[in-house]
Amino acid sequence: MKNIIKLDTTIISSASVVGNKEYEGPHGSEFDIHDESDKFGEKTWEQAESAMQRVALNTAISKSGIDENIIDALFAGDLMNQCTGSAYGLLGFKIPYFGLYGACSTAAESLMLASMMTSYGIFNYCGAVTSSHFCSAERQYRNPLEYGGQRPPTAQWTVTGSGAFIVGKGGKVRITGALPGMVVEKGINDANNMGAAMAPAAADTLLRCYIAENNPLYDADLIVTGDLGFEGSEILRELIVKDHPEIGDKLRDCGVLIYDREKQDVHAGGSGCGCSAVMLSAHFLPMLERGEIKKMIFMATGAMMSPMTLLQGQAIPAVAHMLVLESLLK
Amino acid sequence: MKNIIKLDTTIISSASVVGNKEYEGPHGSEFDIHDESDKFGEKTWEQAESAMQRVALNTAISKSGIDENIIDALFAGDLMNQCTGSAYGLLGFKIPYFGLYGACSTAAESLMLASMMTSYGIFNYCGAVTSSHFCSAERQYRNPLEYGGQRPPTAQWTVTGSGAFIVGKGGKVRITGALPGMVVEKGINDANNMGAAMAPAAADTLLRCYIAENNPLYDADLIVTGDLGFEGSEILRELIVKDHPEIGDKLRDCGVLIYDREKQDVHAGGSGCGCSAVMLSAHFLPMLERGEIKKMIFMATGAMMSPMTLLQGQAIPAVAHMLVLESLLK
């Protein structure tokens, strides 16, 4: 896999559903739907996460104007054990289902597979759906909420949110390229410093652009990472900007942007499958649609450990999948 | 998604790695590699599962004669929380990685995506790798092994095994069609009766063949399900054979075949991502290669619950992905 895979499809519509903390953040008014209780009418946090996916996909389908029955496939995933956020959340849709697990990179992985399928005519229309929920993730990965564990400064805050995208011909934002990530592990084994584990994977994918024939980094307006947070973003800069200073001003990170670091107690920023999905849907896609930016790189990173592998003393493998998005407006 | 997706690719090589119980079963001598300790040189069951994936993929690559560096992508998954069997197992391969979660259906899901990518020229060569391990699955889904819990008659035995497939042009078995599954849930909430949860998903996918233009069930020699086991296979017969008696003699199930029900204490048969993967690699592909059968349906089924969703009183959603495999010999 030497070169960027050329794609020719579009994002027809998208939707973002978030919790209260995300609504109170600097981009709160941009999201489609929020629930101040974070419960979305359900009894458990896990069922609330499934409800977010359901609402996000329904909203995206509704915005697209496309009949649900002609959507050929769903590519979906989340952070829950056995990816139950997606399997239960999308159960009611009579659409073929491909379950994915790429940790927080799933937002890009799902969009990438949907884009490949629609670019090459395997499917006409696909949905890509991902989610995360602070409360379900916290008790699964770390401690029950009631425990009130102290969070170190490098810890990130799992975003409560779900993003859904309808991919196929006819949308306002083109998807023109993809570079799937390789699994990278550089010895980080601290679950409270996932930015450090993921930054080398992001650097690996970006550096592979420089040996590709068609490097999209040169003329991209923005290079947007998923959820490296403050710590991981700094590490990525150290790893790549010293040799490639021209991309320094273009780097943005959804985990850095989604919360107000001064006013909201989030330490190193946001994380989770939902983080990059809702920021792409609510913030970056509209910029491309309005032509404010012409071309952007969307690269979601995932830390693929489990509590079990950490207890067994293993380091954290990570992956970063990259997409090239372009505005239809010249 | 009304019709069977036409594909044109082949399985170039495959490999099967199993544990001791599988080696002692009726097909034991057909598997490539086994380890009587089930540990594969590792300290923990989870790391043993990763080791199986590594060995399976290395063996499949070696058999294919293809340089690892020109394999474009890996599609992989397993049953572990956060799919760590795959992420850690395949870490050493410098190949782009797509993580999947479809429970036991992942064997078909990974082969299906690899087939789509190579049929349509998105990638030239792909790997598809899946695994399960009795000991890692038992303590994650049910009880620690030391607990010695009583198993009800409908319980299945998770296969310790990993199968790897190299997909692209030049192999001896063609992949000519695919029908991705939809998520189906019919109210079964007993984790010790996954066959009953998965049978309706298998029936749903098979019945969709009858409304497709190009139903492959008519001229298939065998219709092989993944791991319905004795219980699920009986339910599938009740659901579908009464209206379609012509397929009754063609139905086989990897979970039924892999162990000797009389001599091995496995109750309703085998299950797990590894079950259908190793039986396809070691038993059914050679039959196609030798021309003993001309055409077979491979349909792996997955039960996508987690211990958490069951504790919260939710039923088990399931999915069944279908592939059409054909011999190159006329």
Contact at CB, A88 and B317, closer than 8 angstroms: yes
pLDDT for position A1: 57
Backbone angles phi, psi at B218, to 5 degrees: -60, -45
3-class SS of residue A270: strand
Backbone angles phi, psi at A278, to 5 degrees: -75, -35
Q: Tell me the mean pLDDT in the region B149-158.
A: 93
- B98, A180: Cβ pair inside 8 Å? yes
Q: Examine the pLDDT at B167 and tell me if it is beyond 70.
A: yes
Test the A interface: residue of B7, B82, B109 with most A CBs within 10 Å: B82
Query: Which of A64, A57, A67, A118 lies closest to A90, judged by CA?
Result: A57
DSSP string, A141-196: HS--GGG-----TT--EE--EEEEEEEETT-SEEEEEEEPPPPB--S---TT-HHH
pLDDT digits (tens, 9 = 90+) for B250-268: 999 999 999 999 999 899 9
What are the chain B neighbours of A180 within 8 Å (beta carbons)?
A: 73, 96-98
| Chain A environment of B94 (Cβ under 8 Å) | 182
- pLDDT value, residue B3: 87
- CA atoms lying within 13 Å on the CB side of residue A96: 26
Confidence of residue B149 (pLDDT cuts 50, 70, 90): confident
Which of B116, B314, B319 is facing A122, going by the closest CB pair? B116
Nearest chain A CA: its distance from B107 CA (Å): 12
Q: Do B99 and A109 touch (CB under 8 A)?
A: yes
At A149 the pLDDT is 85
Chain B contacts of A84, Cβ < 8 Å? 304-306, 308-309
Helices (H) and strands (E) in chain A, counts: 11, 13
**DSSP codes, A233-251:** HHHHHHHHTTT-GGGGGGE
**Torsions phi, psi for B247 (to 5 deg):** -95, -5
Selected for mutation to probe chain B from A74, A184, A309 (highest B CB count within 10 Å) is A309
Q: Residues A44-64: pLDDT tens digits?
A: 999 999 999 999 999 999 999
Q: How far apart are CA A152 and CA A92, in angstroms?
A: 40
Q: What is the CA radius of gyration of chain B?
A: 18
Report the alpha-carbon distance of residue A49 to residue A44 in Å, rounded.
Answer: 9
* Secondary structure percentages of chain B, helix, strand, coil, to 5: 40, 25, 40
| Mutation target among A79, A88, A135, A138 for the B interface, most CBs of B within 10 A | A88
d(CA A4, nearest CA chain B) in Å: 11
**Mean predicted confidence (pLDDT) in B51-59:** 98
Q: Both ends of chain A: CA-CA distance in Å?
A: 30
Residues forming beta bridges with residue A177, ordered by sequence position:
A6, A324
pLDDT of residue B1 exceeding 60, the answer is: no
Termini Cα distance of chain B: 30
Work out the average pLDDT over B182-187: 97
pLDDT digits (tens, 9 = 90+) for B105-121: 999 999 999 999 999 99
Q: Which residues contact B249 (CB under 8 A, 6 or more apart)?
A: none
Helices B194-210 and B229-240: angle between axes, nearest 10 degrees: 30
Nearest C-alpha neighbor of B108 from the set B316, B285, B276: B276
Residue B330 is predicted with a pLDDT of 73
**Residue A288 CA to its chain's centroid (Å):** 17
Does residue A280 sit in helix, strand or coil? helix
pLDDT reading at B2 higher than 80: no
Test B91 with A46 for CB contact under 8 angstroms.
Answer: no
What is the tens place of the pLDDT at every residue in B205-232? 999 999 998 899 999 999 999 999 999 9
Q: Chain A partners of B43 at a C-beta cutoff of 8 Å?
A: 312
Alpha carbons B116 and B176: distance in angstroms, whole number: 10
Per-residue HEC secondary structure of A82-116 comes to HHHHHHHHCCCCCCCEEEECECECHHHHHHHHHHH
Exposure string of B36-49, with b = 16+ CB inside 10 Å and e = fewer, is: eebbbebebbbbbb
Rounded to the nearest angstrom, the minimum Cα separation between B31 and chain A is: 28
CA distance A228 to B129: 29
Do B97 and A183 make contact, defined as CB atoms within 8 angstroms? yes
Are the Cβ atoms of B183 and A87 closer than 8 angstroms?
A: yes
* Contact check, Cβ <8 Å, B87/A304: yes
* DSSP type of residue B4: P
Burial class (CB in 10 A: 0-12, 13-18, 19+), B249: exposed
* Interface contact B319-A116, CB threshold 8 A: no
Extract the residue ranges of chain A whose pLDDT is less than 70.
Answer: 1-2
CA–CA dist B76, B53 (Å, integer): 9
pLDDT of residue A330: 72
The continuous run of DSSP H or E covering A136 comes out as: helix A134-141
Amino acid type, A158:
T
For residue B216, what are its two tokens?
Answer: 């492959």
* Coil, helix or strand at residue B10: strand
Residues of chain B neighbouring A179 (CB-CB closer than 8 A): 96
